[in-house]
A = this chain, B = another copy of it.
Amino acid sequence: MGTSKNALEPLAIGVDIGGTGTKFGIVDRVGNVLFSGEMSTKKHAQVETFIDELQVHLAELITKAGGQGRIKGIGVGAPNGNYYTGTVEYAPNLPWKGIIPLAKMIQDKTKLPVVLTNDANAAAVGEMMYGAAQGMKDFIMITLGTGVGSGIVANGQLILGHDGFAGELGHTIIIPNGRMHEGTGKKGSLESYASATGVRLTTLEVLKTSKKKSVLRDVPANDIDSKKVFEAAIAGDEVAKEIFEYTGKILGMALANAVMFSSPEAIILFGGLTKAGDLILKPTREHMEENLIKVFQNKVKILVSHLKESDAAILGASALAWDIK
């Protein structure tokens, strides 16, 4: 296998489009991110200006990497991205509404082949190539960020579904008639609870309904976020610990359902909330096991991605590009 020092070795570009920012980088076969950068997604109300800016950044990196000839293609991870059509469809967290032919637009602009999928699918491919899922044929990737994404691999293949949109575990209903999700209008979905947004909402609810002392009561409601809850929890705040316990309970139930669906060898967690470590992992494991029927118990590993967070999204997206024909 080649290394990045070989000037003739092909490289791939990974682009990870998030609701707030977009990360991009040039990656070699073994998963080194050679050059990278980032830009705002949010400030581009129009997808056209977003792509103009992206192209300028990519052109710079491509020049540094030795020119267009070395680039095999571009892999793009984006919320609600569709592998089959190369479109992003009705993504609640992106500034562009409706159906956007993003792969084609980037391809036309950069003159490089582009393949696109949703961000969590890209992360799953990244874990399979470079991360915790190396050698696994059956696993589920769950990204716990502002929202909850998922990528499901079975029989060694990404499950894309008949329309390319499979793997939306974040939107499965865990608590019927539960908390309203503002983006989708649905009630009780996993994402409403087990995301950074969900932890914030749980905190606001708990502070209202419980009478317990908590350092979180000194934080203005607008400033409450999952990071503050985490800091309070590691400082021993009981209310903050309960909030993670509750979040883990719901996540554990959802993971049990996922396990009974596709019976993975492991579930790989990635993203901001995993930083809470055992505060969230312990209740998650416990409640997963509690809800599993016997044949599934004590079999499924819950792992935290060990890819560097700043690189992982780019690696995952770039991994898609290696399969471009």
A binding-site residues for B, Cβ under 8 Å: 80, 89-90, 136-138, 152, 154-155, 157, 159-169, 171-176, 184, 186, 253, 256-258, 260-265, 291, 293-296, 299
CB–CB B293/A184 < 8 A: yes
Chain A facing B: main interface SS: loop
CB–CB A163/B258 < 8 A: no
- The complex places the Cα of A172 from the Cα of B258 at a distance, in Å, of 8
A-B pairs with beta carbons under 8 Å apart, 24 shown? A89-B295, A137-B162, A155-B157, A159-B261, A159-B263, A160-B263, A161-B263, A161-B264, A162-B265, A163-B263, A165-B296, A166-B262, A167-B263, A168-B261, A168-B293, A168-B296, A169-B260, A172-B261, A173-B256, A176-B253, A186-B291, A257-B257, A261-B261, A262-B262
Q: A154-B154, A171-B293 are in contact. Are A166 and B256 (CB under 8 A)?
A: no
Which residues of chain B come closer than 8 Å to A174, judged between CB atoms?
176
Q: A172-B257, A256-B173 are in contact. Are A159 and B154 (CB under 8 A)?
A: yes
- The complex places the Cα of A293 from the Cα of B295 at a distance, in Å, of 31
Question: Contacts A159-B261, A173-B257, A176-B253 given; 19 further ones with Cβ under 8 A?
Answer: A89-B295, A137-B162, A138-B166, A154-B159, A154-B166, A155-B159, A155-B160, A161-B263, A165-B296, A166-B261, A166-B262, A167-B262, A167-B263, A168-B263, A169-B261, A173-B253, A175-B176, A186-B293, A258-B261
Question: How many copies of this chain does one complex carry?
Answer: 2
CB–CB A155/B155 < 8 A: yes
Least CB distance from A46 to B in Å reads: 22
Which residues of chain B come closer than 8 Å to A176, judged between CB atoms?
174-175, 253
Least CB distance from A284 to B in Å reads: 15
- The complex places the Cα of A157 from the Cα of B138 at a distance, in Å, of 13
CB–CB A262/B161 < 8 A: yes
CB–CB B172/A295 < 8 A: no
